[in-house]
Amino acid sequence: MTIGRTKDNEVFCLHKSLSRKHAQVDCDGTTVRITDLASKNGVFYGGNRVQEVTLADGDSFRCGDITFLVESATSHVPRTLNSGSAQTLPSPFAVDAIASKRGRNLTPAAGAPAVDERYKDKLFVLIRASELLTASLPIDRLLEELVVLAAQVVDVDRLALLTRTSASAKPVARVVKTFLGGARAPYSQRVVDWVFAHGSQTSFADLGRDKTLPGNVDDDAGIRSAVCVPIDPGTGVIGVLYADSLTTPEIVRPDDLALVRALANLAAAALATNARR
């Protein structure tokens, strides 16, 4: 089985320090072998980065910033010791065979293969997102799942989904996911207000210094880049899907923006359906 940031891993934690496919876990009944799958932030044992390590009951290892404990060599799932802001969420869907076969033991070469893998990840997310619309989930759970899917493939530090009941009502944060602290609020109120008012998507390369938006620029201190798209079922903006980075100044890539927009459209359809019930 594998450990990683996305739901096609048997053990997943929604945390920025984990790669999508971070480590392979093999158990022979007496020991557990952990193998690094060319992850960005590595596998560590005893303070040292390792490519492969064999562990026994009571040993711990770290993937990125997440520490796992081997409770029993016969156990198939290592337990998370301390995951910080990570959150493991149950999925209403089983992992299909095709999705689980995506290059788990292969290190993509530079250039086109890495790009190809990124597009495969996005396609996988869109398929999962479309399945959500036919699942019998409470609306809040469905919206959370959509945001979790976005977090799996878009390289951002924070995401938020906000809705409002009318054009004059105050927006309410329905889902907030934060992987890094350091900003005054979990999202930029200036950006959110602008998208609600204008009904169009927007993105910023250095929001913490941008004075073109109304409001106090100091409120966005620490935010490097941000993107926000409207949630509009065709009757007006009823919500927004927001994402930002506290570390990367570049604007979100066009393909990432397209994915966020697609997920916002699915959220709009789900909210409209829920309102008719």
How many percent of the chain have pLDDT more than 90? Answer: 33
- β-strand partners of 158: 178, 244
Query: What tokens does 53 get?
Result: 């390590």
Quick one: pLDDT at residue 80?
A: 54
Instruction: Let me know: does 147 contact 175? Beta carbons within 8 Å.
Output: yes
CATH (one of 3.40.50.360, 3.30.40.10, 2.60.200.20, 3.40.190.10) for 2-70: 2.60.200.20
What is the arithmetic mean of pLDDT over 103-123?
A: 52
pLDDT tens-digit map of 212-238: 888 888 888 888 889 999 999 999 999
Pick the CATH number of 133-276 from 3.20.20.70, 1.10.630.10, 3.40.190.10, 3.30.450.40: 3.30.450.40
DSSP labels, 54-113: EE-TT-EEEETTEEEE---TT-SSPEEEE-TT------SSPPPHHHHTSSTT--PPTTHH
Encoded tokens for 196: 């609600």
Report percent pLDDT > 70 for the chain: 81
Segment among 13-27, 45-59, 189-203, 245-259 with least mean pLDDT:
245-259
What pLDDT sits at residue 200?
93
Side-chain-side CA neighbours of 193 within 13 Å: the count stands at 8
Q: What average pLDDT does range 16-20 have in this prediction?
A: 84
Single-letter amino acid code for the residue at 191: V
Task: State pTM to two decimals.
Answer: 0.65
**Half-sphere exposure for 58 (CA within 13 Å, toward CB):** 0
Is pLDDT at 205 greater than 50 in this prediction? Answer: yes
What is the domain partition of the chain in residue ranges?
2-70, 133-276
Neighbouring-strand partners of residue 244: 158, 226
Angle at 97 between CA 93 and CA 101, to 5 degrees: 120
